[in-house]
């Protein structure tokens, strides 16, 4: 719920906490709650770079200004509402609070790595990591809560990401599957949300010193699972959107005392009275390669193995025939499409492309066998639905396409064209002129950005934009 900052009522204990933390500028910090909020979006680099006209249009429409700590980040004017524009549906950018962009910038993920985002919903940091990976390597984005995991999977799909697996697992159960496996881990820890006060009344109502202590205890539990999954030499970025020391500096001090193989590389805060953003804390720690795992980390991993056996899940184990059928479809309709390194998986009638990435990921995933027993809302790139021995392309496949050049046939609308609005509402469209001759599966684009599929027949384009995504009005 949005707040009028001039009427913001903060808990007295919180006010006293912040004045003690900031003896010189506590008043300036508290007065920042009366300032207008800042709004940000983060460009999707795989599309932002290659669609210059759409990029220039977005810069003008949304009055974009760069975020200093994130090369992909921009401030936008609230009134421009980029979340309502077709470019958002096409995965051209991700709406994200500006200071939250600092965490992945400091984690510094690289193409080709095996990376985990441990508490990933709604997907801001996962999509940022995937953008930095440039489609190379494998990202596992995990979220324990079912509804939030669903939202995470939808955002991964919207951004056209092909090398990410979404899991819905308790961190300790996940640790039983991936002991000391990841090159980098992002842990944006569930926190008391003090940086959310300006935009969320619920965060204020839920806050108390007791709630802060509960969050710190939960964060320490998750950290132990994260440590059990990091490779020696690997890096973890720990972040929160809260200000108190108990969930931030004190957690890091506790971490370094218990796990002496770690070195603190960097610790940064963004304060809302000093920068344009709601505030964020980030600490980057590295497992020094000449140290072995501590006893506590090993015990955590053994405990997580026992818990992990409670998970459930299954998949059909013979996907090759389905993939051969898809390949024939792809040669006809998407001849320019290139998939990342991976293998096909078949879940019922749904065909996925499981990314493989580097040697570490291939070993850890074991051809998908490691995913058995886990809930997996998205096992990589969703390729197709199998419909009575015919292929129907998945919506994710359209968003994965970088441009219309990958398709044998396509149709593009301007974002300002009424036909673009009609397509997003799910309406069938008449095909005129040269397009009247189209037949079969057709990639639909808006200002050159692929946004979905249609099926052309008899001078009409049958709309295959998913019903759950269609706009109204």
Q: In what order do the strands lie in the sheet with 342-347?
A: 342-347, 350-355, 381-386, 391-393
120 assigned binding-site residue: yes
Q: How far apart are CA 165 and CA 178, in angstroms?
A: 13
Nearest to 279 by CA among 256, 252, 247: 247
Pairing of strands 164-168, 138-142: parallel
Please state the φ and ψ torsions of residue 117, each to the nearest 5 degrees.
-105, 110
Q: How many residues does the chain have?
A: 473
Tell whether omega for the bond before 280 is within 30 degrees of 0, i.e. cis.
no
Q: How far apart are CA 350 and CA 56, in angstroms?
A: 37
Tell whether omega for the bond before 325 is within 30 degrees of 0, i.e. cis.
no
Q: Is residue 393 a contact partner of residue 453, using CB atoms and an 8 Å limit?
A: yes
7 CB-side CA count, 13 A: 4
Catalytic option among 191, 215, 241, 401: 241
458 assigned binding-site residue: no
Please state the φ and ψ torsions of residue 462, each to the nearest 5 degrees.
-75, 130
**What six digits make up the tokens of 167?**
């899991």
Nearest to 80 by CA among 65, 100, 61, 98: 61
**What six digits make up the tokens of 205?**
């109502």
Alpha helix locations (H) across 144-237?
146-158, 171-177, 201-206, 209-229
218 CB-side CA count, 13 A: 15
Q: How far apart are CA 161 and CA 380, in angstroms?
A: 8
143 assigned binding-site residue: yes
**CA separation (Å) from 60 to 77, 249, 284, 367?**
11, 41, 36, 46
170 assigned binding-site residue: yes
**What six digits make up the tokens of 456?**
């052309």
124 assigned binding-site residue: yes
Give catalytic status of residue 401 as yes or no.
no
Q: How far apart are CA 422 and CA 406, in angstroms?
A: 24
361 assigned binding-site residue: no
396 assigned binding-site residue: no
List all residues 6 or more positions away from 347 whose beta carbon is below 8 Å from its beta carbon.
Answer: 315, 316, 379
Point out the residues that are catalytic: 241
Residues belonging to the binding site for S-adenosyl-L-methionine are 119-125, 143, 170, 188
């Amino acid at each position: 719920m949005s707040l009028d900052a001039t009427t913001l009522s903060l808990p007295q204990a919180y006010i006293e906490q912040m004045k003690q933390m900031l003896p010189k500028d506590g008043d300036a910090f508290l007065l920042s709650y009366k300032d207008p909020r800042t709004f940000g979006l983060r460009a999707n680099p795989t599309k932002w770079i290659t669609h210059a006209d759409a990029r220039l249009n977005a810069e003008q429409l949304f009055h974009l200004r760069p975020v200093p700590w994130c090369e992909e980040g921009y401030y936008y004017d609230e009134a421009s509402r980029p979340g309502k524009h077709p470019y958002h549906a096409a995965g051209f950018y991700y709406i994200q609070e500006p200071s939250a962009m600092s965490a992945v910038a400091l984690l510094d993920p690289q193409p080709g790595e095996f990376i985990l985002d441990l508490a990933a919903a709604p997907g801001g940091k996962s999509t940022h990591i995937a953008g930095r990976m440039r489609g190379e390597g494998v990202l596992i984005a995990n979220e324990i809560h079912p509804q939030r995991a669903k939202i995470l999977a939808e955002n991964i799909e919207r951004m056209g990401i092909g090398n990410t697996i979404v899991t819905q697992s308790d961190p300790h159960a996940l640790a039983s599957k991936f002991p000391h496996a990841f090159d980098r881990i992002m842990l944006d820890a569930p926190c008391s949300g003090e940086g959310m006060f300006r935009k969320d009344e619920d965060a204020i109502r839920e806050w108390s010193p007791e709630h802060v202590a509960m969050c710190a205890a939960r964060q320490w539990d998750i950290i132990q699972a994260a440590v059990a999954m990091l490779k020696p030499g690997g890096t973890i970025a720990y972040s929160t959107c809260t200000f108190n020391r108990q969930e931030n500096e004190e957690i890091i001090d506790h971490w370094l005392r218990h796990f002496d193989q770690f070195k603190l590389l960097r610790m940064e805060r963004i304060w809302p009275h000093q920068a344009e953003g709601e505030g964020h804390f980030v600490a980057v720690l590295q497992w020094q390669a000449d140290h072995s795992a501590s006893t506590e980390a090993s015990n955590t991993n053994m405990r997580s193995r026992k818990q992990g056996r409670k998970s459930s899940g299954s998949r059909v184990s013979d996907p090759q025939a389905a993939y051969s059928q898809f390949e024939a479809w792809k040669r006809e309709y998407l001849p320019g499409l290139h998939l990342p390194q991976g293998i096909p998986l078949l879940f019922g009638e749904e065909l996925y492309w499981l990314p493989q990435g580097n040697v570490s990921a291939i070993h850890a995933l074991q051809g998908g066998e490691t995913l058995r027993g886990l809930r997996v809302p998205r096992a990589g790139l969703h390729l197709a639905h199998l419909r009575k021995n015919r292929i129907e392309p998945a919506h994710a496949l359209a968003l994965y396409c970088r441009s219309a050049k990958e398709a044998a046939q396509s149709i593009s609308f301007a974002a300002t064209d009424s036909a673009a609005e009609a397509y997003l509402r799910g309406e069938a469209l008449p095909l005129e002129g040269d397009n009247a001759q189209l037949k079969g599966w057709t990639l639909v684009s808006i200002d050159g950005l692929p946004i979905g599929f249609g099926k052309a027949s008899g001078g009409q384009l049958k709309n295959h934009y998913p019903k759950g995504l269609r706009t109204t009005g």
